């Protein structure tokens, strides 16, 4: 019996690439048929812009690629391109991200689904360009969705998810994806590049409906408002963010069905937690050295695990509480700082404690600030955190009212 | 009935309703002086503008407040407030404001007495009688005391204040109606300290003596002003994404008509009009409609009385600016000219005080004689 | 009377006042001051551009006053943008429309993109973004800077466009300092023209010359690519004069030579209106005092202040390479090399 062999088109075949987090995102931009992107140089995010430029120059994708005169302009350009119906992409790092803050704040206020990566970088001065999370965390109150990727694969997957969730009419909010500077933005890993047809099944066309800015749709977008109106508008944002939890879960299920990836839970990943007595929780690539440490500790007989939070906004309180309530103690690893906060803890520390406040049987929750400014988490540091966490576990709730800075020279 | 206002024994709230920018400094000065005069008796107080009026616009009605209280504790009820919901006295420092206050979109047109409690007072600076002023004020829903402080509306600009003693006269009038809070002796002492000017002190006394009072009963006033009120939608029905519908072609903004910002309105002599287009072309508020015959008709629902049309019209007295209180409605007038030419011309002459006869016209730059005394300064050394 | 709207495929030059279209795309019911010339500019701007237009409005009077408190006077689609973002708003909107049309996601047609800014948002904070947009020759947009010579919406603070010596809330006149603001107005349209050779149209206009202004706007939109128009708008609130004189002050600004009207089209500079007549010697420049004395913001001026003002305007006319446009003077030794005629045109005696 003759077998008909159909010649497969390149886009129909899932391929593999050795790609950095930034390059993986560039592939996502291609697959998503982004219409407009705006670039401006700052390390370490701008690898994505360099990769995208190559794809455009070589005819691999058709995107309006605008080099802006600064980050504020960058984010304004894509915001307005989005308002006329373009699917957009933008990004920045560190102080560049802060230079764009005005535009970032209002993009959420306007309910425009801009998708951005934040190549996490320390805010400098003091001058440094290593990984810290404070840049992306600055959007946490504004109405942006925010997630952190662990691998180059997850970066690509989150990018596709970002357009899917952000552009969903029930949400219509901008999405930021945190990519740890250097460790993820510049690290080459094996990445599966999905097929165009699978992506087309996952990602519908961007449709603003009657919010489209166009002469055929006479509207005024963002008239000035006063105290009689603003609270109602903020309420709408609040409702949209609540809806986002649901929409993320739908997208996660769909993604799993089409691509076979995504983990058990849309919002967090658990590692060796089944019988753990104590766990660590953190975001981004710090999970990798921590998993190495956990395997070592397990060999020694310790019952320890890791929870990696994927989505920071919206914060999946119910899922986080359900997960963490099972343990005696939780060590929160913040790759950020929040000077002067309660117990001088990092941002994630205080959010987790707030989420867990009303749980009857609460774990001891200890704060760790580690690996700032591009420093890596070395195994002795992980060990130190484990020892401190275990000690606190037997000390009752109040032994969590403390923040340990790990690996700092005196 | 009493010729003074009964107030709560713990304090008093006064609002100055004024023409934005033109009377900003005036309103501030009055409110500050109320608080400082009351301070002489050991009371405390606060003065503040209404934040939502800001930024003020020339002519658009705005409010400034003075609150006096017997002590800090009682004052707290008036602090951190956007605006007082009830006042004892509303002072309109321009008499055309009695035709209603429309301060921004969705605000509606509100009667001048709206926040004044029963038995409170409305003071108006005017050169007209209390009866004339009352005839243009919305039908009273509560009894109040109307006081007319003698004098024309005092207009100035942001940088050059017109010191014509209006504020001193108003302070004197306030002393007349709420002597328990604003004593005439304290007012005069404060003015003397601040100005060292005997004539300023005398103006306060003048306001105190010559303010004409008239008790207004429920039902008195005019029912003829437009009812313009809105119910604001909530978050479930507001369009997401901070979006409102655009205006349709030919429409004017129904949520903000803005005619309440004028103190004068233009009347047009269609007989002498040469259809040059300049009034229509140069109106920043798009207040002219082009008639089938190519005349330019004023839409009184939209006109804010800036006077540019009268200034740019090349025909003498073809467009004349007239005191807004001479008119009872906002009806457009070209139809009247078309259907009853003579009646229209009589109306034009009666309102404007100039002849409608084309034979008496010369083509020359029109000086708007009736224009309110403006801010054109003479201190820079020139007549304008 | 009914108003018809029609597509604006082409925007022909308006022949005169009787030829001005009747359609109103910026209608009554906006919270601007009595006599606001910036509002008049808005009205003329979209009258000139027609209904197939998207307007982006940056923060300032023409945002807050017009679209105040959840309403709008705009018939055409309008969107707010940030104070310094008019350049970016123009660029992003134009780029978005272009790519969507190219990819077939929306209908391919001519849509005017106009982003406006005040003097504060345009000449100060947003100058970088405007400059960037004027270099992007692949995208069609008009950036319109409406200049009322202050940050007017925040109750009048000085900007780089505030004239020498003028009083604002950041430059009051007091007993120790008569003049707190002694910087001369930055030459914004000239700067844009000189710095962006690939922008096909840069112009300076004024609503006192309405047809001239509308034609400049139409020319900008018709030529395509990124363009820039700067209007001088008398402001009764900030300049302190009775609103009825707004048109007169606009005329005086031009007739005194303080605000030259011109356009630069594909690198060729034309003077327009009374400015042309002044340059040709047919009209004498009125003394600046005629203009200054009408405004409360100059009420504190001493004789020496008026003299300095006059001298600077004179210099602009007698020494600049192009009066009001290019402030270079050319060194003696280079005048022949560069073929510069030293004597200004208006000083030449008239030939029969």
What string of DSSP letters covers B193-209?
HHH--HHHHHHHHHHHH
Q: Which CATH number fits domain B262-360: 3.30.300.30, 2.160.20.80, 3.30.70.20, 3.60.21.10?
A: 3.30.70.20
Give the closest residue to A123 by CA, choosing from A356, A337, A283. A337
The two structure tokens encoding residue C323: 């009066």
DSSP helix/strand/coil, A367: strand
Cβ contact (<8 Å) for C71 and B105? Answer: yes
For a pLDDT cut of 90, what percent of chain A falls above it?
A: 95
Of A172, A227, A232, the CB nearest to B235: A232
For the domain made up of C17-347, give the CATH fold: Rossmann fold (3.40.50)
- A112–B contact, CB cutoff 8 A: yes
pLDDT recorded at residue C349: 52
Q: Which chains are within 8 Å of C by 3+ CB pairs?
A: A, B
Confidence of residue A10 (pLDDT cuts 50, 70, 90): low
Give the closest residue to A117 by CA, choosing from A96, A102, A86. A96
Q: H/E element holding C158?
A: none
- Cα separation, B322 vs B222, in Å, equals 21
CA distances from B106 to A61, A225, A346, A356, C222 (A): 49, 11, 45, 44, 39
> Which site among C7, C16, C25, C33 would you substitute to test the B interface, given the most B Cβ atoms closer than 10 Å to its Cβ?
C33
Cβ contact (<8 Å) for A239 and B242? Answer: no
Return the CA Rg of chain B: 22
pLDDT recorded at residue B359: 77
pLDDT recorded at residue B279: 97
pLDDT recorded at residue B351: 96
**Any long-range contacts for B181-185 (C-beta under 8 Å, 24+ apart)?**
B181/B7, B181/B12, B181/B38, B181/B43, B181/B68, B182/B34, B182/B37, B182/B38, B182/B68, B183/B37, B183/B40, B183/B41, B184/B208
Phi/psi at C323 (5° precision): -55, 130
Shortest Cα distance, chain B CAs vs residue A290, angstroms: 42
> Which residues does A202 contact at the CB level (< 8 Å), separation at least 6?
A160, A164, A251, A254, A255, A258, A259
Confidence of residue C345 (pLDDT cuts 50, 70, 90): low
CA distances from A42 to A93, A137, A139, A196, B336 (A): 7, 18, 19, 30, 70
Q: Which chains are within 8 Å of B by 3+ CB pairs?
A: A, C
Whether the predicted pLDDT of C351 surpasses 60: no
Class of residue B131 by CB neighbours under 10 A (exposed 0-12, middle 13-18, buried 19+): exposed
In Å, the largest CA–CA distance within chain B is: 70
Supply the pTM of this predicted model. 0.93
In which residue are the tokens 């076979």 written?
A: A260
Phi/psi at A73 (5° precision): -60, -40
What string of DSSP letters covers C236-298?
HHHHTS-GGGHHHHHHHHHHTTSS--EEEETTEEEE-HHHHHHHTTSSPPPPTHHHHTT-GGG
Class of residue A125 by CB neighbours under 10 A (exposed 0-12, middle 13-18, buried 19+): exposed
Q: How many residues does chain C have?
A: 352
Cβ contact (<8 Å) for C242 and B60? Answer: no
- Cα separation, A188 vs A17, in Å, equals 9
- Cα separation, C11 vs C234, in Å, equals 27
Selected residue with higher pLDDT from C100 and C321: C100
- Cα separation, A57 vs C72, in Å, equals 43
Q: Which chain B residues touch A236 with a CB distance below 8 Å?
A: 235, 238, 240
pLDDT recorded at residue B361: 62
Q: How many residues does chain A have?
A: 410
Task: Using 70 as the pLDDT threshold, list the residues of chain B that sit under it.
Answer: 1, 360-384
> What are the respective helix, strand and coil percentages of chain B, to the nearest 5?
30, 20, 50
Give the closest residue to B148 by CA, choosing from B126, B121, B174. B126
Q: How many CB pairs under 8 A join B and C?
A: 224
Query: What is the tens place of the pLDDT at every residue in A146-189?
Result: 999 999 999 999 999 999 999 999 999 999 999 999 999 999 99
Whether the predicted pLDDT of C280 surpasses 60: yes
Q: Which residue of B has its CA nearest to C51?
A: B249
> Which site among B53, B243, B247 would you substitute to test the A interface, given the most A Cβ atoms closer than 10 Å to its Cβ?
B243
The single-letter DSSP state of residue A194 is: P
- Cα separation, C243 vs B25, in Å, equals 18
The two structure tokens encoding residue B41: 């008796």
Whether the predicted pLDDT of C106 surpasses 80: yes
Cβ contact (<8 Å) for B242 and A211? Answer: no
Confidence of residue A137 (pLDDT cuts 50, 70, 90): very high
Q: Which chains are within 8 Å of A by 3+ CB pairs?
A: B, C
- A236–B contact, CB cutoff 8 A: yes
Domain locations in chain B as residue ranges:
11-216, 262-360
Shortest Cα distance, chain B CAs vs residue C351, angstroms: 34
Shortest Cα distance, chain A CAs vs residue C111, angstroms: 8
Query: What is the tens place of the pLDDT at every residue in A264-300?
Result: 999 999 999 999 999 999 999 999 999 999 999 999 9
Domains in chain A, please, with CATH? 10-259 (3.40.50.970), 268-405 (3.40.50.920)
In which residue are the tokens 């003299």 written?
A: C307
The two structure tokens encoding residue B338: 């078309």
pLDDT, mean of residues C74-99: 98
- Cα separation, C148 vs C42, in Å, equals 13
Q: Does domain B11-216 have CATH number 3.30.70.250?
A: no
Shortest Cα distance, chain A CAs vs residue C131, angstroms: 9
Buried b (16+ CB within 10 A) or exposed e, B282-316: bbbbbbbbebeeebbbbbbbbbbbbbbbbbbbebb
- A278–B contact, CB cutoff 8 A: no
- B378–C contact, CB cutoff 8 A: no
DSSP helix/strand/coil, A382: helix
ipTM above 0.90, yes or no: yes
Give the closest residue to C258 by CA, choosing from C204, C220, C321. C204
> Which residues does B154 contact at the CB level (< 8 Å), separation at least 6?
B23, B26, B93, B125, B162, B164, B166
pLDDT recorded at residue C3: 36
In this structure, the number of other CB atoms found within 10 A of the CB of residue B213 comes to: 17
Cβ contact (<8 Å) for C244 and B376? Answer: no
Cβ contact (<8 Å) for A236 and B240? Answer: yes
Helix pair B24-39, B184-195: axis angle to 10 deg? 120
Give the closest residue to C23 by CA, choosing from C4, C39, C43, C9. C4
pLDDT recorded at residue A286: 97
Shortest Cα distance, chain A CAs vs residue B241, angstroms: 5
Return the CA Rg of chain C: 20
Cβ contact (<8 Å) for B253 and C30? Answer: yes
pLDDT, mean of residues C233-254: 97
Whether the predicted pLDDT of A4 surpasses 60: no
- Cα separation, C125 vs A32, in Å, equals 35
Q: H/E element holding B228?
A: none
Shortest Cα distance, chain B CAs vs residue C282, angstroms: 23
Angle made by CA atoms A293, A316, A242, in degrees to the nearest 5: 160
What string of DSSP letters covers B55-115?
SP-TT-EEEEEEEEESSHHHHGGGTT-SS-SSEEEEEESSGGGGG-B--STT--BB-TTTT
- Cα separation, A334 vs A283, in Å, equals 8
Q: H/E element holding B185?
A: helix B184-195
Helix ranges restricted to H, A58-116: 71-83, 94-99, 101-109
Cβ contact (<8 Å) for C34 and B261? Answer: yes
């Amino acid at each position: 019996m003759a077998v008909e062999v159909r010649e497969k088109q390149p886009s129909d075949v899932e391929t593999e690439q050795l790609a950095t987090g930034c390059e993986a995102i560039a592939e996502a931009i291609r697959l998503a048929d982004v219409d407009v992107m705006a670039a401006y140089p700052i390390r370490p995010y701008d690898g994505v812009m360099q990769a995208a430029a190559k794809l455009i120059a070589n005819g691999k994708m058709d995107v309006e690629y605008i080099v802006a005169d600064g980050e504020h302009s960058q984010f304004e350009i894509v915001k307005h391109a989005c308002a006329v119906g373009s699917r957009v992409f933008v990004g920045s790092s560190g102080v560049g991200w802060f230079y764009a803050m005005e535009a970032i704040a209002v993009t959420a206020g306007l309910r425009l689904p801009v998708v951005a990566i934040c190549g996490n970088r320390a805010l400098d001065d003091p001058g440094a360009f290593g990984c810290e999370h404070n840049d992306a965390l600055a959007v946490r109150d504004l109405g942006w969705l925010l997630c952190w990727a662990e691998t180059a694969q997850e970066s690509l997957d989150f990018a596709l998810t970002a357009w899917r969730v952000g552009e969903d009419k029930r949400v219509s909010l901008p999405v930021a994806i945190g990519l740890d500077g250097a460790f993820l933005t510049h690290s080459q890993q094996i990445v599966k590049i999905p097929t165009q047809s699978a992506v087309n099944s996952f990602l519908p066309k961007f449709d603003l409906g009657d919010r489209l800015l166009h002469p055929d749709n006479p509207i005024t977008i963002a008239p000035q408002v006063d105290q009689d109106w603003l609270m109602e508008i903020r309420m709408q944002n609040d409702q949209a963010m609540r809806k986002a939890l649901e929409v993320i879960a739908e997208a996660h299920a769909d993604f799993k069905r089409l691509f076979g990836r995504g983990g058990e839970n849309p919002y967090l990943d658990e590692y060796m937690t089944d019988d753990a007595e104590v766990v660590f929780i953190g975001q981004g690539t710090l999970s990798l050295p921590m998993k190495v440490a956990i395997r070592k500790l397990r060999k020694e007989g310790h019952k320890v695990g890791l929870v990696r939070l994927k989505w920071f906004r919206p914060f999946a309180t119910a899922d986080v509480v359900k997960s963490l309530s099972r343990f005696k103690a939780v060590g929160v690893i913040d790759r950020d700082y929040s000077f002067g906060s309660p117990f001088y803890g990092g941002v994630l520390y205080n959010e987790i404690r707030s989420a867990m406040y009303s749980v009857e049987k609460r774990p001891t929750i200890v704060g760790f600030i580690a690996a700032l400014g591009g420093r890596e988490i070395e195994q002795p540091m992980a060990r130190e955190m484990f020892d401190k966490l275990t000690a606190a576990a037997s000390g009752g709730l109040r032994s969590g009212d403390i923040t340990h800075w790990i690996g700092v020279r005196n | 009935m009493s010729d003074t206002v009964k107030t709560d024994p713990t304090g008093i709230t006064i609002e100055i309703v004024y023409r934005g920018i033109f009377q900003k400094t005036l309103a501030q000065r009055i409110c500050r002086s109320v608080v400082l005069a009351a301070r002489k008796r050991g009371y405390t107080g606060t003065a503040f503008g209404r934040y939502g009026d800001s930024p003020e616009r020339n002519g658009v009605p705005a409010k400034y407040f003075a609150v006096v209280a017997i002590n800090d504790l009682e004052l707290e009820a008036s602090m951190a407030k956007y605006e007082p919901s009830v006042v004892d006295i509303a002072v309109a420092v321009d008499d055309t404001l009695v035709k209603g206050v429309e301060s921004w979109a969705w605000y509606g047109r509100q009667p001048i007495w709206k926040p004044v409690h029963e038995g409170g007072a409305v003071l108006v600076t005017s050169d007209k009688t209390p009866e004339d002023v009352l005839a243009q004020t919305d039908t009273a829903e509560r009894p109040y005391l109307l006081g007319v402080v003698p004098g024309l509306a005092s207009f100035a600009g942001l940088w050059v204040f017109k010191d014509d003693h209006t504020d001193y006269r108003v302070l004197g009038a306030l002393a007349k109606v709420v002597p328990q809070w604003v004593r005439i002796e304290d007012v005069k002492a404060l003015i003397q300290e601040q100005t060292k000017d005997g004539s300023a002190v005398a103006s306060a006394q003048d306001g105190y003596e010559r303010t004409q009072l008239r008790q207004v009963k429920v039902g008195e006033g005019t029912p003829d002003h437009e009812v313009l009120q809105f119910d604001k939608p909530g978050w479930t029905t507001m369009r997401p994404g901070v979006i409102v519908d655009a205006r349709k072609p030919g429409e004017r903004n129904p949520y903000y008509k803005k005619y309440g910002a004028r103190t004068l309105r233009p009347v047009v002599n269609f007989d002498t009009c040469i259809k040059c287009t300049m009034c229509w072309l140069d109106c920043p508020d798009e207040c002219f409609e082009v008639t089938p015959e190519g005349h330019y008709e004023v839409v009184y629902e939209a006109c804010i009385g800036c006077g540019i049309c009268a200034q740019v019209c090349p025909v003498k007295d073809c467009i004349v600016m007239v005191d807004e209180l001479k008119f009872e409605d906002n009806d457009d007038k070209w139809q009247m000219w078309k259907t009853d030419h003579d009646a229209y011309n009589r109306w034009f002459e009666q309102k404007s005080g100039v002849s409608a006869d084309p034979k008496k016209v010369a083509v020359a730059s029109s000086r708007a004689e009736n224009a309110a005394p403006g801010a054109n300064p003479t201190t820079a050394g020139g007549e304008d | 009377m009914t108003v018809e709207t029609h597509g604006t495929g082409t925007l022909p030059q308006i022949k005169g006042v009787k030829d001005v279209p009747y359609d109103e795309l910026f209608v009554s019911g906006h919270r601007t001051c009595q006599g606001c010339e910036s509002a008049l500019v808005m009205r003329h701007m979209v009258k000139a551009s027609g209904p197939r237009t998207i307007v982006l409005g940056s923060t300032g009077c023409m945002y807050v006053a017009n679209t105040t408190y959840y309403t709008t006077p705009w018939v055409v689609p309008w969107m707010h943008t940030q104070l310094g973002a008019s350049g970016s708003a123009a660029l992003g909107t134009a780029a978005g429309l272009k790519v969507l049309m190219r990819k077939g996601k929306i209908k391919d047609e001519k849509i005017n993109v106009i982003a406006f800014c005040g003097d504060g948002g345009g000449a100060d904070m947003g100058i970088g973004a405007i400059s960037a947009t004027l270099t992007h020759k692949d995208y069609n947009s008009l950036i319109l800077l409406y200049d009322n010579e202050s940050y007017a919406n925040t109750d009048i603070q000085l900007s780089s466009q505030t004239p020498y010596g003028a009083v604002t809330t950041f430059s009051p006149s007091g007993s120790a300092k008569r003049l707190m603001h002694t910087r001369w107005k930055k030459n914004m349209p000239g700067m844009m023209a000189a710095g962006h050779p690939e922008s096909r149209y840069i112009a300076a206009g004024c609503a006192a010359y309405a047809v001239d202004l509308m034609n400049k706007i139409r020319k900008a939109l018709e030529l395509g690519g990124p363009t820039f128009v700067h209007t001088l708008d008398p402001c009764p609130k900030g300049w302190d004069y009775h609103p009825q004189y707004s048109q007169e002050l606009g005329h005086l600004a031009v007739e005194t030579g303080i605000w030259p009207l011109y356009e630069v089209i594909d690198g060729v500079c034309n003077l327009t209106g009374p400015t042309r007549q002044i340059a040709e010697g047919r009209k004498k420049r009125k003394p600046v005092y005629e203009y200054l004395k009408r405004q409360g913001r100059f009420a504190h001026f001493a004789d020496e202040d008026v003299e300095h003002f006059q001298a600077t305007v004179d210099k602009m006319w007698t020494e600049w390479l192009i009066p009001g446009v290019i402030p270079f003077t050319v060194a003696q030794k280079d005048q022949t090399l560069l073929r510069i005629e030293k004597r200004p045109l208006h000083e030449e005696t008239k030939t029969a």
